[in-house]
A and B are shown apart, each in its own frame.
Chain A
Amino acid sequence: MKALPVLSLLLCVCSVFFVGIYLFVGGFLLVRLEVNRTSTCGDVLQPGGGEPSAAAAADFCRARPRFRRAVLLVVDALRIDFARFDARNAAPRPHENKLPVLQEAAAARPAHGRLFPFRADPPTTTMQRIKGFTTGSLPTFVDVGNNFASSAILEDNLIHQFGQAGKRVVFMGDDTWESLFPKKFHRSLPFPSFNVKDLHTVDNGILQHLYTTMMGGDWDVLVAHFLGVDHCGHRFGPDHPAMADKLTQMDGVIRAVIDRLQNDTLLVVMGDHGMTDTGDHGGESHKETDAALFLYSPAPLFPGPPSQSEPDVVPQTDLVPSLALLLGVPIPYSSVGQVLLPLFPPHGQTDGAVGGLSQLEALWINAKQVNRFLETYSGMAKDIPPENLSQLKDEFSRLSSEYLATVGEGRPPSPELAASLQAYLTSVRDTCRATWARFNPLKMAAGLVILAFACLTCFILSELSLTLIREDGRGLKGPVVTALAAAVCVAAGQLLTQGYVEVAWCLAAAALSSELLFLWTAYRSRVTAVSKNGSKALKFASWLTPRQLLTPPLLVPLLRCASLLSDSYVIAEGRVVTFLLFSLALYIPFHLNWDGLLLPPSHDPLKSAGLLPSPHLSPSTVRKESGTLLGCVGLLIGSLYLSLSFHGCREEQGACQPSPFLSPLSRLQDSQLKNLHYVLSVFSLGVWTYLLRRCLRHYGNLNSSGGAVFVARWILPLLSVCLGLHWAVSATPEDSFRNLAELISLAQLSLPRAAFCLLGLGLFLIWLDPLTVFIKTRAAASARNSALPPPRYRASTGISPQAELHHLIPQIYQRMRRSLDDGGSSGELSGAGEVDSRPAVEAYGLGTVYSAPLLLFCGLLGIGLLLLHPEGMALSFLLLLLEMGALLHIHASSTTLKGLHGTYSGGFKVPWAPIVMWALAATQFFHATGHLPTFPSIQWGAAFVGFPDGHTGTILPASLVTLNTFASHILFAVACPLLLLWPLVCEVRGSRGGGGRAACGDEGEDAVMEMRLRENPQLFSSALLQLSTRYLFIHGAQVFASVSAAAILRRHLMVWKVFAPKLMFEASGFLVSSVSLLIGVTLVLRVDVAVGRWFKRIIPDVAR
Chain B
Amino acid sequence: MWDHEIKAMASAHAIIAAAVFMATVLPGAVVRGFSVCGTHLLWLYSVSGAVAAVSVAVFWLLGITRPTKKHTLGYKLSARFQQPHQLRSRLSRLFRSCVYFFLSCLFFHTVVVLYGAPLIESALETFSLAVLLTSLTTLRCLCVLGPNVQAWIRVFSRHGAMSVWDTCLQITVVCTVVGAWVGAFPIPLDWDRPWQVWPVSCSLGATIGFLTGLVAAPAWIHYHRKQLTYKCK
Interface residues of A (CB under 8 A from B): 566-569, 571-572, 575-576, 578-579, 582-583, 586, 590, 593-596, 598-599, 602, 604, 606-607, 637, 640-641, 644
> Which residues of the partner chain A approach B7 to less than 8 Å between Cβ atoms?
none
Question: Is A596 in contact with B157, judged by CB distance below 8 angstroms?
Answer: yes
Which among B153, B156, B184, B188 is the interface contact of A571 at CB below 8 angstroms? B188
Q: Is B90 an interface residue (CB 8 A)?
A: no
Q: Are A575 and B114 in contact (CB under 8 A)?
A: no
| Shortest CB distance B233–A (Å) | 12
Specify which chain B residues have a CB less than 8 angstroms from the CB of A599 in the assembled complex.
153-154
Residues of B129-145 contacting chain A, CB below 8 A: none
Q: Which of B111, B156, B190 contacts A593 (CB 8 A)?
A: B156
Lowest 5 CB-CB distances: which A-B pairs, in order?
Answer: A572-B188, A596-B157, A568-B189, A568-B190, A568-B188
Interface size on B, residues (CB 8 A): 18
Q: Are A644 and B116 in contact (CB under 8 A)?
A: yes
Q: Say which residue of B115, B154, B181, B190 sits within 8 Å of A602 (CB atoms).
A: B154
Smallest Cβ-Cβ distance to A571: which chain B residue: B188
Contact check, A593 vs B157: say whether CB atoms are below 8 A apart. yes
A1002 to chain B, nearest CB (A): 34
Asked if A593 and B153 make an inter-chain contact with CB atoms under 8 angstroms apart, the answer reads yes
- 10 new A-B pairs (CB below 8 Å) besides A575-B188, A579-B115, A593-B156? A568-B189, A572-B188, A579-B116, A593-B153, A594-B157, A594-B158, A595-B157, A596-B160, A607-B231, A637-B114
CB distance B157 to A583 under 8 Å? no
CB under 8 Å from chain A, chain B span 189-205: 189-190
Interchain CA distance A1034-B185 in the complex, whole Å: 21
Residues of B within 8 A of A566 (CB): 189
**Is the CB of B159 closer than 8 A to any CB of chain A?**
yes
Q: Which partner residue on chain B sits nearest A559 by CB separation?
A: B185
Interface bits B152-186 vs A (CB < 8 Å: 1, else 0): 01101111100000000000000000000100100
Min CB distance A45 to B, Å, is 51
Using CB atoms, name the residue of chain B closest to A570. Answer: B188
Interface string of B58-78 (1 = CB under 8 A from A): 000000000000000000000
B111: shortest Cβ distance to chain A, in Å? 8
Contact between B115 and A582, CB atoms less than 8 A apart: yes
Is the CB–CB distance between A595 and B158 below 8 Å?
A: yes
Residues from chain B with Cβ under 8 Å of A644 in the complex: 116
Contact check, A579 vs B184: say whether CB atoms are below 8 A apart. yes
Give Cα A1004 to B42, complex, Å: 67
Distance in Å: Cβ of B137 to nearest Cβ of chain A: 13
Contact partners of A594 in chain B: CB under 8 A? 156-158
Give chain A nearest CB distance to B70 CB in angstroms.
14
Alpha-carbon distance A604/B232, docked complex (angstroms): 10
Contacts of A575 in B (CB 8 A): 116, 188
Cα-based distance from A519 to B227 in the complex (angstroms): 39
**Chain A to chain B contacts (Cβ below 8 Å), 8 pairs:** A567-B190, A571-B188, A586-B111, A593-B153, A594-B157, A595-B158, A596-B160, A602-B154
- Contact call B181/A590, Cβ cutoff below 8 A: no
CB-defined contacts of B184 to chain A, threshold 8 Å: 579
Question: Which residues from chain B contact A593 at a C-beta distance below 8 Å?
Answer: 153, 156-157
Contact of B188 among A569, A598, A602, A640 (CB under 8 A): A569
CB <8 Å contact, B160 and A606: no
Question: A571 CA to B188 CA in the complex, in Å?
Answer: 9
Contacts of A641 in B (CB 8 A): 114
Q: How far is the CB of B93 from chain A (nearest CB, A)?
A: 23
Cα A233 to Cα B101 in complex, Å, equals 53
- Chain A contact residues, majority secondary structure: helix
Which residue from A571, A582, A590, A595 sits with its C-beta under 8 Å from B114?
Answer: A582
Q: Is the CB of A590 within 8 A of B188?
A: no
- Shortest beta-carbon distance, B191 to chain A, in Å? 8
Q: Which residues of A contact B158 (CB under 8 A)?
A: 594-596
- CA of A569 to CA of B191, assembled, Å: 12
Bound-state CA distance A575–B187 (Å) is 11
With A and B bound together, what is the CA distance between A568 and B193 in angstroms?
Answer: 14
In the complex the two chains form, what is the Cα distance from A567 to B188 in whole Å?
10
CA distance A578 to B114 in the complex (A): 10
Tell me, in angstroms, the Cα distance from A637 to B159 when the chains sit together: 28
Cα distance, A582 to B160, chains bound together (Å): 26
Chain A residues in 8 Å Cβ range of B160: 596
Inter-subunit contact B231/A606 (CB<8 Å): yes
The CB with the most chain A CB atoms within 10 A, among B114, B153, B154, B181, is that of: B114
Nearest chain A CB to B61 CB, angstrom units: 31
Distance between A902 CB and nearest chain B CB, rounded to angstroms: 15
Please measure, in the bound complex, the distance between the C-alpha atom of A644 and the C-alpha atom of B113, giving whole angstroms. 12
Name which residue of chain B comes closest to A567, CB basis.
B190
Return chain A residues, CB-CB under 8 Å to B114: 582, 637, 640-641
With a CB–CB cut-off of 8 A, which chain B residues contact A583? Answer: 181
A602 to B151, CA, bound (A): 11
Complex Cα gap A593–B157 (Å):
6
A596 to B159, Cβ gap below 8 A? yes
| Cα–Cα, bound, A644→B188 (Å) | 16
Distance from A612 Cβ to chain B, minimum over Cβ atoms (Å): 16
List, in ascending order, chain A residues with CB within 8 A of B154's CB. 599, 602
Residues of A within 8 A of B115 (CB): 579, 582
Bound complex: CA A595 to CA B156 (Å): 9
Q: Which residue of A lies closest to B119 (CB)?
A: A641
Q: Encode B219-233 as 1/0 by CB contact (under 8 A) with A.
A: 000000000000110
Task: Give, as a whole number of angstroms, the nearest-CB distance from A529 to chain B.
Answer: 31
| Residues of B contacting A579 in the complex (Cβ-Cβ under 8 angstroms) | 115-116, 184
- Min CB distance A159 to B, Å, is 33
Chain B residues with CB under 8 Å of A596's CB are 157-160
Check A578 against B190 for contact (C-beta < 8 Å). no
* CB neighbours of B157 from chain A (8 A): 593-596
Question: In whole Å, how far is A1051's beta carbon from the nearest beta carbon of chain B?
Answer: 18
- Chain A residues whose C-beta falls within 8 Å of the C-beta of B231 in the assembled complex: 604, 606-607
Query: A567 — which chain B residues lie within 8 A by C-beta?
Result: 190
Q: Provided the pairs A594-B158, A596-B160 are in contact, do residues A578 and B188 lie with their beta carbons within 8 angstroms?
A: no
Q: Looking across the interface, which residue of chain A has its beta carbon closest to that of B187? A: A572
The distance in angstroms between the C-alpha atoms of A571 and B189, with both chains bound, is 10
> In the bound complex, how far is the Cα of B190 from the Cα of A637, in angstroms?
28
Q: CA A583 – CA B116 in complex, angstroms?
A: 12
Q: Once the chains are docked, how many angstroms separate the CA of A595 from the CA of B114?
A: 26
Chain A contacts of B232 at CB under 8 A? 606
- Cβ contacts under 8 Å, A569 to chain B: 188-189
Taking a contact as CB atoms under 8 Å apart, the answer to whether B116 and A590 are in contact is no
Residue of B nearest to A1054 (CB): B190
Give every chain B residue within 8 A of A604 (Cβ-Cβ): 231
Q: For B192, give the chain A residue with the smallest CB separation.
A: A197
Closest to B156 in A: A593
- Minimum C-beta distance from B160 to chain A (A): 7
Evaluate contact between B116 and A578: CB separation under 8 angstroms: yes
- With both chains docked as a complex, state the minimum distance between the C-beta of A993 and any C-beta of chain B, in angstroms: 25
What is the bound-complex CA distance between A568 and B186, given in angstroms?
A: 10
* Cα–Cα distance between A606 and B233 once the two chains are bound (Å): 13
Question: Residue of A at shortest CB range from B189?
Answer: A568
> Contact between B156 and A590 (Cβ–Cβ < 8 Å)?
yes
Closest approach, in angstroms, between the C-beta of A562 and any C-beta of chain B?
A: 10
| Residue numbers in B under 8 Å from A595 (CB-CB) | 157-158
Q: Give the distance in Å from the alpha carbon of A317 to the alpha carbon of B175 in the complex.
A: 59
Residues B111-125 near A (CB distance < 8 A)? 111, 114-116
Chain B residues with Cβ below 8 Å from A640 are: 114
Chain B residues contacting A590 (CB-CB under 8 Å) are 156
Once the chains are docked, how many angstroms separate the CA of A236 from the CA of B160? 56
**What chain A residues lie within 8 Å of B153 (beta carbons)?**
593, 598-599
Q: CB-CB < 8 A to A568: which residues of B?
A: 188-190
A906 to B160, CA, bound (A): 27
Q: How far is the CB of A629 from chain B (nearest CB, A)?
A: 14
Alpha-carbon gap, A491 to B111, bound state (A): 59
| CB-nearest residue of chain B to A569 | B188
Considering the chains assembled together, what is the distance between the CA atoms of A858 and B29 in angstroms?
65
Q: How far is the CA of A637 from the CA of B111 in the complex (A)?
A: 10
Give bound CA distance, A606 to B159, whole Å: 13
Docked complex Cα distance between A571 and B154 (Å): 41
Q: What is the CB-to-nearest-CB distance from A193 to chain B, in angstroms, rounded to a whole number?
A: 16
